[in-house]
Structure 1
Amino acid sequence: MSDKKITVLDLLDLDLKGHNSLNLHCIAGRMGLSRALTVPDINRPGLALSGFYDSFAYQRVQLFGRGEFAYLKKLNFEGNIETIKQFFSYGIPCAIFTHSITPDDTFLSIAEHAGCAILQTDLESTEFSSRLLRVFSNLFAPKKTMHGVFVEVYGIGILLTGDSGVGKSETALELVERGHRLVADDIVEIRCVNGNSILGQGANKLISHHMEIRGLGIINISQLYGVGAIREQKEVQLVVKLETWDQNKIYDRLGTDAHTTDLLGVKIPLIEIPVKPGRNLPIIIEAAAMNERLKSMGYYSAREFNQNILKWIETGEAQNAYYGSEDSY
C-alpha cells in the first residue's frame, strides 16, 4: 500500500486531455469526495455483490461495468438491499460506473447515506481501467526535486547537474540555440514510473521554461526560440555532472568504465565533464548524447577500441613496430 494519498475530488479535478481524459463526473454522494485514495488499483466487485466478502479489496476504487450493473438490477428486482448496504459498510473510497450507466435510485440513496461518492464515465470498462491505472502510476510514483537543468539532445533526456555557477544554464542555452529542447531549468522534478523509468519535468510549470542567465536575467525560452524549443517532460536517460577542472583529479579518458548514479532506485548512466575555459561543452554533450544512442543499440565505441588494441598487440604487429624502429639505427 502506498503512503501517498489523494482524494476523490483530486481525481475529478485532474486536467487530462485527449486519450488520457477520464471523463468523470459525480452523480451522487458528494460528501464522499473528500475520501482518500490510498491504493493505486481497481476492483471489480462482482463477488462482493453476491455476498462473498473474504479478501474483499475495499480499499480500491470499485468499478462497475455492464455485468455488475446487471447484477444490481437483479438485486433491486428481488428487493435484496441488505447486500448493497453491506457493500457500502466497508468504507470504499468511491464507486465508478462506466458506459454512462446510471444506477437505480435505491443504490444512489444507500450511497448518499453512507457518504460514498458515485462517479460516472462514458468510457468502456477496459479503456477506462487502462487510463485510470496510468493516472495512478503517475500520481503515486515516488518523486523528488533536484537542482539542475534538464534538456533533450538528439532524443536523449540529459540532466545537467553541478555546483551553482558552473555553467549549466549557459550550456543548456547554447544547446537550445543549436536546435535542441529545454525541459526544465533550475528545479527539476523527477518521478519513478513502473519501477524502472525516471521521468523529469519542471517542478513549477509556470516557470519551468524560463531560464536564469547571470548578467542577462530571466529569459523565456518558448518566446525567444518558439514552442519547438521546449518540452513538458522527458525520460532521464543520462546524467552529466559539470565540475570545475581539478588538475589533481584523474578523469576518464577512454570511457571503458561505465559509471551510474542512483535516482529513486534506478541506475542512470553518469558522465563527469570537467569545465575550464576553452572547452566547448555543448559539442561534448551532443557527442555524449549520440554515443548514448549508440550504446542503446548495442554499440560501445570505447569497448570496441579497447578490443581492437588488444587484437593488434596479440598479432605481434605492435612489437614489430616498436622493435623495428630501434633496429633501423
Structure 2
Amino acid sequence: MAKVRTQDLLEQFKLELVAGKDGIHREIFVSDISRPGIELTGYFRYYPKDRLQLLGKTELSYFKNLTIEEQKDRATRLCTDITPGIVISRGMTIPDALVDACNQSGVPLLRSPYKTTRVTSRLTNYLEAKFAPFTAMHGVLVDIYGIGVLITGQSGVGKSETALELVKRGHRLVADDSVEIRQEDYDRLIGTSPPLIEHLLEIRGLGIINVMTLFGAGSVRNYKKISFIINLETWDQSKEYDRLGLEEDTMKIIDVEVPKANIPVRPGRNLAVIIEVAAMNFRLKRMGVNAAEEFSERLTTMIEHEKTGLDLDDDIE
C-alpha cells in the first residue's frame, strides 16, 4: 500500500497551508473524508479523528455562530494527535480559534478555493487510488482497439514477440514482463508498468528495445483498464479446446473476475492476428453481438425444422 502524507495533498492539489506547518508530514491511513457537523455541536463520541476533516460553508458558518469559548473547545477537540489535516473549501475566512488550535496541536490547516463537492470528490478519488488493493502479474498488457488485453502464459511462450507484432499493427503497449495492477473500484482493474521498464520490450535474441523510440509516442500508454485476459499455452494434442466460443472462462485478480480465453500456441499460428480478432470479438459481445450464440441458435432451429419435417413424413405414412 502506498504511503500518503498531508504534504502530498499540498503538492497535488496546490492547497494553501494556513496553519499547523509542523504536521505536514503526518501520514494518512484511510481514504474516507469526514465532514464534522455533529461534532461542532459538542458530540465527539464517534468522532473519526484519523480521517482528513473537511469544513464547508455549512460547517464553518455554524462554527462562526458559536461563542468564543465554544469555538476554542470545538477547535481543540477537532485537532487530535492523529488527525492528518483539516481542509477548508471555497477559500473562506478561517476563525482565529481554529488557526490557533491547529498551530498548537500541529494539525495542518489547508484551504482550497474550490467548492466543497469538488474538493471532496477530488480528494476521495486521489486517496482511493493510492490505497487501492495492489498486485503484480507476469504478462504483457496491450491496448487493442480500446480493449485492455492482458496476455499471460509461461516464460518463453511468445508474449513479448506477440506484443511487438501488435504494436507494429498500430496497437499500444502498456507494460511488458511485469504488470502492476490496482483495483480502483469494485470491478475496475488498472494496469501500469513499473517505472524501471516503462515503454520497454524484451525480445529474446534481440535484447531490450524502446517501443516509444522506435514506433513513436502513439505506440504506448501509461495505464489501461484490464478488460480481457488471453492465456497463451503450448499446444497439447490430448486436450480438447473450445471450437465454438460458447464456453466463458474467467480469472480472478484481487476481487475482480475478468473474462479469459485460452489460446494454444504452435508453429504456423499468427498469434497477433488471433489476439486482435479475439479483442474485437470481445468488444462485439459487450455490444450484444455473439457469433457463437447466433450459430448455436441457427443450429437449433435447423434441427427443429428437420425434426418437424420427419414427423410430418411419419404422419403421412
TM-score (norm 2): 0.91
Offset at residue 66 of structure 1 (A):
2.4
Offset at residue 74 of structure 1 (A):
3.2
Question: Is the 8 Å Cα contact of residues 313 and 319 (structure 1) preserved in structure 2?
Answer: no
Offset at residue 72 of structure 1 (A):
3.5
Name the structure 2 match of 1:142: 133
Name the structure 2 match of 1:175: 166
Q: 145-154 or 72-81: which moved more?
A: 72-81
Q: Which residues in structure 2 correspond to 1:16-31 (within 5 Å)?
A: 22-31=13-22
Could you say if the C-alpha distance between residues 319 and 12 of structure 1 is closer, same or farther in structure 2, counting changes exceeding 3 Å?
Answer: farther
Could you say if the C-alpha distance between residues 284 and 79 of structure 1 is closer, same or farther in structure 2, counting changes exceeding 3 Å?
Answer: closer
Structure 1 Cα separation of the partners of residues 14 and 292 of structure 2: 51
Q: Which residues in structure 2 correspond to 1:212-291 (within 5 Å)?
A: 212-291=202-281
Indicate yes or no: 2:112 matched with 1:112: no
SS at match of 1:81: helix
Indicate yes or no: 2:152 matched with 1:154: no
SS at match of 2:30: coil
User: CA offsets, 1:122-153, max 9 Å, x none?
Assistant: 22111111111111221111110111100011
Could you say if the C-alpha distance between residues 26 and 157 of structure 1 is closer, same or farther in structure 2, counting changes exceeding 3 Å?
Answer: same
CA RMSD in angstroms, aligned pairs only: 2.2
Name the structure 2 match of 1:17: none
Q: 306-315 or 261-270: which moved more?
A: 306-315
Q: Which amino acid aligns with 2:278?
A: A
Structure 2 Cα separation of the partners of residues 76 and 121 of structure 1: 26
Q: 235-244 or 30-39: which moved more?
A: 30-39
Structure 2 Cα separation of the partners of residues 161 and 122 of structure 1: 46
Q: 276-285 or 73-82: which moved more?
A: 73-82
Match of 1:59 among 50, 53, 77: 50
Q: 71-80 or 55-64: which moved more?
A: 71-80
Offset at residue 223 of structure 1 (A):
1.4
How many residues get paired?
310
Question: Is the 8 Å Cα contact of residues 145 and 203 (structure 1) preserved in structure 2?
Answer: no
Where structure 2 has 5 or more consecutive residues not aligned to the other structure, the ranges are 311-317
Indicate yes or no: 2:300 matched with 1:310: yes
Where structure 1 has 5 or more consecutive residues not aligned to the other structure, the ranges are 15-21, 321-329
Indicate yes or no: 2:196 matched with 1:198: no
Identical-residue share of aligned pairs (%): 43
Question: Is the 8 Å Cα contact of residues 235 and 266 (structure 2) preserved in structure 1?
Answer: yes
Question: Is the 8 Å Cα contact of residues 312 and 318 (structure 1) preserved in structure 2?
Answer: no
User: CA offsets, 1:239-297, max 9 Å, x none?
Assistant: 00111112222211111110110011111111111111110001101110111011101
Could you say if the C-alpha distance between residues 44 and 79 of structure 1 is closer, same or farther in structure 2, counting changes exceeding 3 Å?
Answer: closer
Question: Is the 8 Å Cα contact of residues 233 and 264 (structure 2) preserved in structure 1?
Answer: yes
Q: Which amino acid aligns with 2:8?
A: D
User: CA offsets, 1:1-53, max 9 Å, x none?
Assistant: xx875322333344xxxxxxx23242321222232222211111122122122
Name the structure 1 match of 2:33: 42
Structure 2 Cα separation of the partners of residues 79 and 247 of structure 1: 80
Could you say if the C-alpha distance between residues 161 and 275 of structure 1 is closer, same or farther in structure 2, counting changes exceeding 3 Å?
Answer: same
Name the structure 1 match of 2:314: none
Structure 2 Cα separation of the partners of residues 238 and 163 of structure 1: 18
Name the structure 2 match of 1:8: 6
Offset at residue 121 of structure 1 (A):
1.7
Question: Is the 8 Å Cα contact of residues 75 and 81 (structure 1) preserved in structure 2?
Answer: no
